[in-house]
């Protein structure tokens, strides 16, 4: 089975999360006109935990990319912000009765980040084209915040 | 009056905040060995508010840089994560009875981010060498989260 990468648009991605990128215009201009603030771009949600800032240093993958596992974090949202400009593959799925439904695939570009909603099924971080460094804003706290689902037959994500 | 930029080390910066950069080794290796997680690198603290992810799109400054204003956020920490590789000047000061004490200055490099502790006096975001794009992780919520202090005589920050 294979899935094709579709364009990463706010509308297509909204059921799964948010694209963290500049709006057409800033919400506020601060610092005596020197800085535009594009305000509160992700639906962050850490429930009973707190926000943490971590770094993920991830080895490169390539396309087509084999996906044999998706996971979800039931207790909090998770955002990925690219620090070295390496695009990453975003594989997500709606929930279908506690299991992932049909996979969908997107690819970020340049400085785009994404924020996954709490509980969104997603593939593991997959930088395309180079070693990727990402700031990750996710939940720190007690409780089991990881569900995994392994596919009997891997899904191939194609450009 | 002028202040020289000093090396940005965790020890020198600790009273003001955290440097968000890779540790010598990851705290966890995840994704079947493909990704190192450098965990919980900043002392985030949003008190009565919640975490938000915003973007700051800031015009370039140059060195020497005139600082006529510092500010602080009494209700929460504030982190800056560089998305397009532009270093930024970090001007901070200890508190001295409700006013900033002697200024200190640091310059980030490459993919380094910083997290300012709640209440740290700091200069405004100052990308050096180009238009800078930064993800900002700070507090969203009610209340006055901004104190400003204007200097009668601007301070010059030199390389």
pLDDT, one tens digit per residue, over A45-98 is 999 999 999 999 999 999 999 999 999 999 999 999 999 999 999 999 999 999
Contact call for residues B145 and B75 (beta carbons, < 8 A): yes
Is A135 in Cβ contact with B81 (below 8 Å)? yes
B19 touches chain A (CB under 8 A): no
Closest CA to B105 of B93, B117, B118: B93
Per-residue pLDDT averaged across A93-117, rounded?
97
Per-residue pLDDT averaged across A9-32, rounded?
97
Count CB neighbours of B149 within 10 A.
14
Which CATH number among 3.40.50.970, 3.30.429.10, 2.60.120.480, 3.20.20.80 corresponds to the domain A2-158?
Answer: 2.60.120.480
Six token digits for residue B135 = 């993800």
In Å, the largest CA–CA distance within chain B is: 57
Contact call for residues A131 and A88 (beta carbons, < 8 A): no
Taking the C-alpha atoms of residue B79 and residue B68, their distance in angstroms, rounded to an integer, is 22
Closest in A34, A38, A58 to B55, CB measured: A38
Contact call for residues A56 and A125 (beta carbons, < 8 A): yes
Closest in B21, B31, B56 to A124, CB measured: B31
The yes-or-no verdict on residue A135 having pLDDT over 90 is yes
pLDDT at B1: 85
Interchain CB contacts (distance < 8 Å): A and B: 142
Six token digits for residue A44 = 């962050």
| Phi, psi torsion values for A67, nearest 5 degrees | -115, 115
- Stretches where chain B sits below pLDDT 70 are none
Closest CA to B67 of B104, B109, B35, B40: B104
Six token digits for residue B25 = 């080794």
Residue to test with chain B: of A55, A80, A85, A133, most B Cβ within 10 A = A55
Is A41 in Cβ contact with B54 (below 8 Å)? yes
pLDDT, one tens digit per residue, over B114-125 is 999 999 999 999
Residue A40's pLDDT band, with cuts at 50, 70 and 90, is very high
> Where do the structural domains in chain A lie, given as residue ranges?
2-158
Contact call for residues B79 and B137 (beta carbons, < 8 A): yes
**pTM for this model (two decimals):** 0.97
Closest in B20, B32, B35 to A135, CB measured: B20
Contact call for residues A80 and A132 (beta carbons, < 8 A): no
Average pLDDT over all residues of chain A: 97
The length of chain B, given as a count of residues: 159
- Exposure of A112 in the CB half-sphere (CA atoms within 13 A): 19
Residue A139: list chain B partners with CB under 8 A.
Answer: none
ipTM over 0.95: yes
| Burial annotation A102-112 (CB, 10 A radius, 16+ → b, else e) | ebbbbbbeebb
pLDDT at A1: 85
């Amino acid at each position: 089975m294979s899935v094709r990468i579709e364009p990463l648009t706010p509308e297509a991605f909204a059921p799964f999360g948010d694209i963290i990128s500049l709006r057409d215009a800033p919400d506020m201009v601060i610092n005596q006109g020197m800085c535009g603030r594009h305000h509160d771009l992700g639906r962050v949600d850490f429930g009973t935990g707190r926000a943490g800032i971590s770094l993920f240093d991830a080895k490169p993958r390539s396309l087509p990319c084999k996906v044999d596992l998706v996971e979800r974090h039931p207790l909090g949202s998770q955002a990925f912000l690219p620090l070295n400009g390496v695009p990453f593959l975003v594989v997500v799925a709606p929930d279908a009765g506690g299991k992932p439904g049909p996979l969908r695939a997107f690819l970020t570009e340049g400085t785009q980040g994404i924020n996954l909603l709490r509980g969104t099924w997603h593939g593991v971080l997959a930088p395309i084209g180079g070693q990727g460094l990402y700031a990750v804003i996710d939940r720190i706290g007690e409780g089991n915040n990881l569900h995994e689902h392994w596919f009997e037959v891997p899904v191939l994500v194609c450009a």
